[in-house]
Amino acid sequence: MEALLKKIEQKEAVVGVIGLGYVGLPLAVEFAKAGLKVIGIDVNQKRVDQLNRGENYIQDVDDNELRELVKSGILAATTDFSSLKHIDALSIAVPTPLNKTKDPDISFILQVNEQIGKYLHKDLVVILESTTYPGTTRELILPTLESTGLRVGKDVFLLFSPERIDPGNPVYHTENTPKVIGGMTENCLALGVALYNHVFEKLVPVSSPEAAELAKLLENTFRSINIGLVNEMAIMCDRLGVNVWEVIDAAATKPFGFMKFTPGPGLGGHCIPIDPHYLSWKMRTLNYRARFIELAGEINAEMPNYVVNLVIEGLNRHGKSVKGSKILLLGMAYKPDIDDVRESPSLDIHALLKTKSATVDFNDPFVNEVRFDGVFAKSIPLDAKTLKSYDCVVIATNHKVYDYQMIVSNSKLVIDTRNATAKIKDEKIIRLGAMG
């Protein structure tokens, strides 16, 4: 261990990152910027080739920094898992989606686990970053490491450290977001801390991988439940004829005991719509029902339907049926000013409107094309003439680059799910939570 610790502290260790997506690539870049040689591993040959040409595909990564790191040889990518033989410390950042029954899909972790078993060697640090259910690190990865005869904590070292990536956040990035880390043993933790100290400004060591796994799930469960609360408040305010946005702003003036959350068309991204279900699933295996999680999930999952009902009501006011209407969605990304459409509620709104025989197009300045039912559709140009040709415009994502006054002025009907038009007074606007 002492030799490996010295190697890490002196930046002589080779770092591997498995999974070069929204989490893995920014992490790999930060390790390389810190002066450690990095080998990225991904099963996507196109992505690997693109990276080895110095071409960036992640919005939060600087194009020039990536290009220079690849050019200098400190960062490279491969699809060959045998490169694990040359790696001293490994971070695993693969997707952990849900299956159709909302149960955890850990197939990517299992595939990586199998490859680690093939190429495991003495003096290797393994850190799982993929969000998963409590116990995954101990129950799945630990047995694989120990099945080789190597001892965890003495020969190899295992930790869990949840990713905290927030795509598009202008303030908090990889390096300045505090990093929770839990080791299987004290030696494991010591090596993990030494490694991540090169990248992160603040580390938050906890007593076990399970504590780190649960910390991540608590963070996003907290957000899911509070978003579910304000989404339900929006529905209630519609029934009461009160503006939910005014209510929330008023409540937010309280300097203690209140944290502001806002309603919207549903949950998106790879964390909040998914992570709480990992905890709920785990608790079902222990004969316990996570009622808050399930209730919030139900409310949040229904919001795209609620938006479609607003569209139907708005069209009815204009004497039109949703069937045969032309509808334009503004924003396919799950939140403003990013290009990430994972789990975006806009996808559900699009599908629901199509099932009602509407003609649906979209515009998103950050998303060039989206796949719907196996067919790719492109973002259409946004101008006054285009807007006038649609029966209804739905603001699904409040991108800052949108000229909302121009949008309202040239639209027949606007359904605003994000309160993006708060400063505009016009009877053609129907706002979620302020319908009256």
Residues marked as catalytic:
271
Q: What CA–CA distance (Å, rounded) separates 275 from 187? A: 29
Check if the beta carbon of residue 189 is closer than 8 Å to that of residue 153: no
Q: Which of 159, 162, 165 is nearest to 185 (CA)?
A: 159
d(CA 13, CA 34): 12
Calculate the CA dihedral of residues 292, 296, 299, 300 and round it to 10 degrees. Answer: -170
Query: For residues 120, 126, 128 and 134, what is the CA-based torsion angle, rounded to 10 degrees?
Result: 90
Tell me, letter by letter, the H, E, C secondary structure of 151-162: CECCCEEEEECC
Q: Which of 105, 166, 153, 148 lies closest to 126, judged by CA?
A: 153
Residue 390 burial (CB count, 10 A): 20
How far apart are the C-alpha atoms of 348 and 265, rounded to whole Å? 10
DSSP summary character for residue 52:
H
What is the C-alpha to C-alpha distance for residues 74 and 256, in angstroms, rounded to an integer?
48
3-state secondary structure of 233: helix
Q: Which of 417, 421, 414 is nearest to 433 (CA)?
A: 417
Distance CA 272, CA 224 (A): 6
138: its two tokens: 């101990």
| Helices of type H across 241-359 | 244-251, 275-285, 291-317, 345-355
Integer Cα distance of 365 and 137 in angstroms? 40
Place of tokens 């908090």: 172
CA distance 10 to 105: 38
